[in-house]
Amino acid sequence: MKRALGLIFLLIVCIGSIGAVEPAAPVAPQKDHFSVWHGEKVNDPWFWLREKGSVDVLAYLNAENGYTEKMTSGLNPFVDTLYREMLGRMKQTDLSVPWRFGRYYYYNRTVEGQQYPIYCRKAAAVDMGFAEQAMEEILLDQNEMAKGLKFLSLYMGSVSSDEQKLLFCTDTTGFRQYSLFVKDLVNGQV
């Protein structure tokens, strides 16, 4: 009896899976590309994937993205629930711990609904403590800087010893290709 029930169950599972054909994962074609390293000839068949703007690379990446989307589409309700739960546990409008350098306290703050932090400073109080009521000076608003860009990474460098210049780097590619800038904090010019 148990064996008969087991066979019936197996038959039901097999019949149920007959129409459910999963898409095949895309496979990157191999294209010979030879280089000489330390006197040795080396083949890198996936070298062509480095050409980010090429039609072949974009087609392959789109195929991979499509495959991933099809294979994970059943997870979307869970992903949405998890995202809302994580967002609900974050304090979106927040202030970092201020640190003193010279006559100023430096900090960054985040604002609900904005993606990036805002880098600021306030003049220290007479006793060199943090003056909550002091006027805030916005050094860099990464949200403003990111307008019109797909990506912006900002590395907050350092302030000059006379506290009038700010050194910082930005990356708009995502490949750590930083551009170096100096902002004059007196007149706001970069």
For position 4, what pLDDT does the model report? Answer: 47
Q: What are phi and psi of 66, to 5 degrees?
A: -65, -45
Please state, as a whole number, how many other Cβ atoms lie within 10 Å of the Cβ of residue 63: 15
For position 3, what pLDDT does the model report? Answer: 54
Hey, what are 105's tokens? Answer: 């306290």
If residue 66 lies in a helix (H) or strand (E), which one and from where to where? Answer: helix 55-72
What's the rounded Cα separation, in Å, for the pair 15 and 10? 9
Q: What is the residue-averaged pLDDT of the chain?
A: 89
For position 53, what pLDDT does the model report? Answer: 85
Q: Side by side, which strands form the sheet with 179-184?
A: 153-159, 165-171, 179-184
Q: Note whether 121 and 135 are within 8 A (CB).
A: no
Q: Note whether 146 and 153 are within 8 A (CB).
A: no
For position 157, what pLDDT does the model report? Answer: 87
Contacts of residue 81, defined as CB under 8 A and 6 or more positions apart, other chains included, come to none
For position 23, what pLDDT does the model report? Answer: 86
Ranges of residues in the chain with a pLDDT under 50 are 1, 4-7, 10-11, 13
Give the residue among 188, 150, 154 at the shortest CA–CA distance from 171: 154
